[in-house]
Amino acid sequence: MSATRSAPVFAINHMVTPALRPQAFFQLARAIGVQDVEIRNDLTGNAIIDGTPAADIRAQAAEVGVKIATINALQRFNEWTPGREKEAIELADYARDAGAAALVLVPVNDGTGQEDGARQANLRAALTALKPILEARGLLGFVEPLGFEICSLRSKREAVEAIEDIGGQDTFRIVHDTFHHHLAGEPALFPQWTGLVHISGVTDAAIAISDMRDSHRVLVDVQDRLGNIAQIRALLAGGYTGLFSFEPFAEEVQRLDDPAEAITVSMTAVRNGLAQS
C-alpha cells in the first residue's frame, strides 16, 4: 500500500476549458501550479478530433512542462464490436504516441446493455479484449462507472470484480467520479483500485439527484451538494495517492473569462474544506 497522502494533488481535464487549444490548455495548467492534464477526443474543432498528430501534442506538453495523465475517452467500451476494437487500437496508439499514461474507458450510457448477466458478461468480454491492446502500448485502462440510471455500468464494485475475474489487476483501475458516485448511491469506496478521481460540484439547490446531468457540473465550492470534501477525505484516508482532476461540464464554467482564477479558488475551497474537517 502507498503511504497515505494528506493533501490532494490536482489535475485539470480539457473539459474545463474546451475552447483552448492544447498548448494554451497546457499553459493554463502550469499557470495554476498543476503539472498533470487530461486531454480529450470529443472536443469539436480541437485536438484530438481535428487530426493534430500525437507527436505534436507530446512536444507541446513537454515544452510547457506538463504530463498527460489520460486521454478521455474510449466511449461505449463495454459494447465490444470489430468497430470498437479498431477504435480502441487507434486511440491507444494515439495515447502512446502522445505520451499519455492511461486511457479512460466510458461505458454505454443510453439505457441499453443493462440486463443482469449480459451486463457483466459484456464488461468481461471488453476488458479481456482491451487488456492486450493496452499492455502492448504500455498503457493503463481507467474504467469509469457512471451514476446515471440509464448507464450499463453504474457500480464500481462490478467493475472491480470484472477486473479481478479477467486477471487485469496490472492493467486496469477505476475512475472515482464524485458526481457519478453521488448519483449511483453506492457507498463503497475502492481507493486501492482507483487510478483517477474526477471532481466537480453541483450547487443548484432545486435539482433532484435523479435529474442531475453533466450540464449542472460546476467547480467545487462551499455550496456543493455532492459531498466532494467527504469523498476526497475518505479516498485520501484509504490510501489513494493519485490525481484529483477537475472535470466540470457546465457552460458557465467553460465560458469563464478567467478560468485560472476560478480553478484556483476551487482548489483553495477543497483544501480549506479538508483542513476544517
pLDDT tens, the chain, 277 aa long: 344 457 999 999 999 999 999 999 999 999 999 999 999 999 988 889 999 999 999 999 999 999 999 999 999 999 999 999 999 999 999 999 999 999 999 999 999 999 999 999 999 999 999 999 999 999 999 999 999 999 999 999 999 999 999 999 999 999 999 999 999 999 999 999 999 999 999 999 999 999 999 999 999 999 999 999 999 999 999 999 999 999 999 999 999 999 999 999 999 999 999 999 5
Q: Could you give the 3-state DSSP secondary structure of residue 254? A: helix
* Domains located in the chain, CATH noted: 9-276 (3.20.20.150)
- In angstroms, the CA 12 to CA 200 distance is 11
State how far Cα 188 lies from the chain centre.
18
State how far Cα 218 lies from the chain centre.
15
- In angstroms, the CA 178 to CA 78 distance is 22
pLDDT value at position 152?
98
Tens digits of residue pLDDT in 161-170: 999 999 999 9
Q: In the chain, at which residue ranges do the beta strands (DSSP E only) sit?
A: 9-13, 36-40, 67-75, 102-106, 140-143, 172-177, 194-199, 243-246
